[in-house]
């Protein structure tokens, strides 16, 4: 008798989106090089007696941790992680409360908890909010047009998180989280009229918050005035950033040759790292960086559109929106179009918590892409 052929179980799982992975690693690599270049004067002149490569090696260590966590996220799968979303959003709120209670104050803001390094819970809150909103949208997908399910739980969540951020104060975090939340609600199917009302109310509260803090009022006022009229005061950061950008010319001064990073430009390896990149790499180098970010965002939204289910779509769209908003705000701040708000450039700016959580979010998008089955040829 002829032996029966064993049924071969077909693999119904796709592979990760390699173009998205490659572009992410390329941006990360360029970012690490720029941290090395932009940070060594600050480290060299630091009163803490640290190595000139101190910030670079710390950022590299966090990059390794973030890549490891991203790998774990891909292996676990976004569906399993999304089940933890309610717990994660509560934990992030508790961490924000802990910041208010015993956080570390730096430059007048209390946004960090020192645990051997400065841990920033607001970065965890961004990722937790994306997962929680995706979880809610999937759960209430057929009732997103109603006030009870399509607006109320989202507004309450945003209100709690943004309220805790306002107490720090952390207005850039509020703006970023608010935009992410509204965009996800819109994509999830919330009623436009309710969203418009919530948006107006949110903008009003932000305006009140800005008026309540003198430093915030001053930064907004500087935007509408000529910063060169107050070079040593409110306009100092923007003026130094514009000097750096303008000095780069077409091809830049060369990698490592920035002049403004030598204690002229504040936060050269953090919020204003793109200005250093412009000075050293010139218009051509800056344009290449922007193009890489544009491809990254395009690929992220493409993965969202092709996602195998609504949960995956919302997670990928939420993460990509987060990157898009933060990249845009940072570039607007550095070029003097938006008030200085402390917005870092994703995968570039120095900051351990931010880098780790951004790589975790990239892992989530790659996990979603893994569920996309490529159509068979012919």
pLDDT in tens, 60-111: 999 999 999 999 999 999 999 999 999 999 999 999 999 988 887 776 677 8
Cα Rg of the chain (Å, integer): 22
Top-confidence residue, 195 or 283: 283
Is residue 112 a part of any domain in this protein?
yes
Is residue 375 a part of any domain in this protein?
no
What confidence tier does 210 reach under pLDDT thresholds 50, 70, 90? low
Residues 6+ apart with CB under 8 A from 122: 96, 111, 165, 168, 170, 173
Is residue 205 a part of any domain in this protein?
yes
- Number of structural domains (the chain) is 1
Report how far Cα 295 is from the mean position of its chain's Cα atoms. 16
Residue 330 CA: distances (Å) to CA of 335, 339, 341: 9, 10, 9
Q: Which of 182, 173, 164 is nearest to 357 (CA)?
A: 173
Is residue 174 a part of any domain in this protein?
yes
171-181 pLDDT, tens digit per residue, is 888 999 999 99
110 strand-pairing partners: 105
* Domain enclosing residue 77, as ranges: 18-41+58-370
Is residue 6 a part of any domain in this protein?
no
Is residue 121 a part of any domain in this protein?
yes
Note the pLDDT of residue 253: 94
| pTM attached to this predicted model | 0.90
What confidence tier does 12 reach under pLDDT thresholds 50, 70, 90? very low
Is residue 331 a part of any domain in this protein?
yes
106 strand-pairing partners: 109
Is residue 196 a part of any domain in this protein?
yes
């Amino acid at each position: 008798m002829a032996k029966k052929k064993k049924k071969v179980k077909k693999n119904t799982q796709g592979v990760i989106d390699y173009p998205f992975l490659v572009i992410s690693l390329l941006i990360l690599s360029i970012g690490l090089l720029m941290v090395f270049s932009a940070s060594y004067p600050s480290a060299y002149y630091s009163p803490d007696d640290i190595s000139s490569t101190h910030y670079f090696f710390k950022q590299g260590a966090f990059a390794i941790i973030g890549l490891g966590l991203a790998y774990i996220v891909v292996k676990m799968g976004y569906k399993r992680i999304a089940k933890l979303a309610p717990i994660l959003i509560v934990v992030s709120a508790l961490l924000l409360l802990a910041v208010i209670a015993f956080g570390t104050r730096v430059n007048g803001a209390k946004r960090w908890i020192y645990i051997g390094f400065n841990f920033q819970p607001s970065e965890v809150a961004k990722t937790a909010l994306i997962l929680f909103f995706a979880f809610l949208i999937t759960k209430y997908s057929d009732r997103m047009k109603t006030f009870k399910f399509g607006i109320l739980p989202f507004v309450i969540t945003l209100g709690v998180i943004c309220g805790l951020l306002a107490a720090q104060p952390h207005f850039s975090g509020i703006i970023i989280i608010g935009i992410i939340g509204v965009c996800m609600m819109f994509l999830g199917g919330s009623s436009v009229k309710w969203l418009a009302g919530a948006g107006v109310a949110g903008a009003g509260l932000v305006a009140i918050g800005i008026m309540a803090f003198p430093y915030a009022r001053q930064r907004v006022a500087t935007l509408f005035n000529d910063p060169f009229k107050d070079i040593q005061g409110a306009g100092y950061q923007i003026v130094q950033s514009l000097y750096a950008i303008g000095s780069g010319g077409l091809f830049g001064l060369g990698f490592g040759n920035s002049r403004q990073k030598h204690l002229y430009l504040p936060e050269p390896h953090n919020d204003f790292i793109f200005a250093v990149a412009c000075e050293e790499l010139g218009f051509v180098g800056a344009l290449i960086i922007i193009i890489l970010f544009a491809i990254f965002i395009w690929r992220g939204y493409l993965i969202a559109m092709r996602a195998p289910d609504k949960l995956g779509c919302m997670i990928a769209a939420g993460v990509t929106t987060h990157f898009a908003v933060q990249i845009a705000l940072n570039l607007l701040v550095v070029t003097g179009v938006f008030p200085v708000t402390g917005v870092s450039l994703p995968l570039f700016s120095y900051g351990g918590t931010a880098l780790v959580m951004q790589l975790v979010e990239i892992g989530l998008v790659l996990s979603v892409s893994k569920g996309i089955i490529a159509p068979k040829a012919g």
